[in-house]
Amino acid sequence: KEEHRLSYESKLKCAQHSVSKKLLEIALAKKSNLIASADVTTTQELLDLAEKTGPHIIALKTHIDIISDFDYEKTILPLKELALKHQFLLMEDRKFADIGNTQELQFTSGVFKITDWADFVTSQVIGGFESLDCFRNVGVVAIVGMSSKGTLTTNSYREEALKIALSHPNVIGAVSQHKVPEDILLFTPGVNLADSGDGKGQQYNTPQHVFKTLHTDFIIVGRGIYKAEDAEKAALTYKNEGWNAYLQSLEK
């Protein structure tokens, strides 16, 4: 028999980490489980997307190192203002993958100073349990499984990665294309309503599919939104699709 999934309300009751709590509170307040992935390459496009999608999303996912004209004052300060205005969190998809000391430097130094503005970050767990100790002031989403064709995140890798994710106090969730235990939040990229792939290895599923089969908590949508003619309308569509799919997954 199919197991029930837990609702956001019940996950909120047992949430330990302040970032998990915030995410779940925003999800319930906005009736949204949508994270927009801002894979754009200029500050203007980033801020435009944040302004348009802001009311409909729980978080904006950045790859801050692809912004060609990055400038802390001109890029981050207005982005933080938009996050406050529209009540969404900032998720930097840095995918750290080194020893703890180097990750700590990448997290705190350089031009991006991720530690100063990101609410949560993604990290590989390939460096082992202690490599995640440096992310003290943010939440970590551990990369457990990837969405791309031929990924090396096999069953046995995912099992070991999950052990680290479940036991580390800085970890709030996992990125995966497979089910994870209910005590960790599941973030699923590779979501698109129109395409099944991008010709570069990405593999897409629909919101319906990921909520029903993976019991995902949050969907991550990039090109489905920022490449759309009307990004705001697309965000609203994914928000509604995601929320309805979540409600249906509660009934099963």
* Nearest CB to ligand 5BU, comparing residues 101 and 156: 156
* Nearest CB to ligand 5BU, comparing residues 33 and 202: 202
How many CB atoms within 10 Å of residue 137? 14
Binding flag, residue 214, ligand 5BU (CB under 6 A): no
**Which among 48-56, 113-121, 142-150, 159-167 is the span making contact with ligand 5BU, rule CB under 6 A?**
142-150
Among 75, 202, 205, 216, contact with ligand 5BU (rule: CB under 6 A)? 202
Assess contact for 141 and 120: CB atoms under 8 A.
yes
The CA-to-CA distance between both ends of the chain, in Å, stands at 10
Among 21, 113, 209, 223, contact with ligand 5BU (rule: CB under 6 A)? 223
Binding flag, residue 190, ligand 5BU (CB under 6 A): yes
Q: Which one is catalytic: 21, 31, 95, 113?
A: 95
Scan for tokens 């309308």, then name that residue: 233
Residue least distant from ligand 5BU (Cβ): 222
Q: Is 95 a catalytic residue?
A: yes
Quote the distance between the C-alpha of residue 198 and its chain's center.
20
Binding flag, residue 242, ligand 5BU (CB under 6 A): no
**Which among 83-91, 97-105, 221-229, 238-246 is the span making contact with ligand 5BU, rule CB under 6 A?**
221-229
Closest CA to 184 of 232, 228, 125: 125
DSSP label of 205: B
Instruction: Count the site residues for ligand 5BU by CB under 6 A.
Output: 17
Within 8 A by CB and 6+ apart from 244, the residues are none
User: What whole-number distance in Å separates Cα of residue 34 and Cα of residue 46?
Assistant: 17
Binding flag, residue 93, ligand 5BU (CB under 6 A): yes
Question: What residues numbered 49-88 form the site for ligand 5BU, per CB under 6 A?
Answer: 63
Burial pattern 6-19, b for ≥16 Cβ within 10 A else e, equals bebeebbeebebeb
Closest CA to 222 of 43, 53, 73: 53
Site residues (vs ligand 5BU, CB under 6 A): 37, 39, 63, 93, 143, 146-147, 175, 189-190, 192, 202, 220-224
Residues noted as catalytic: 95
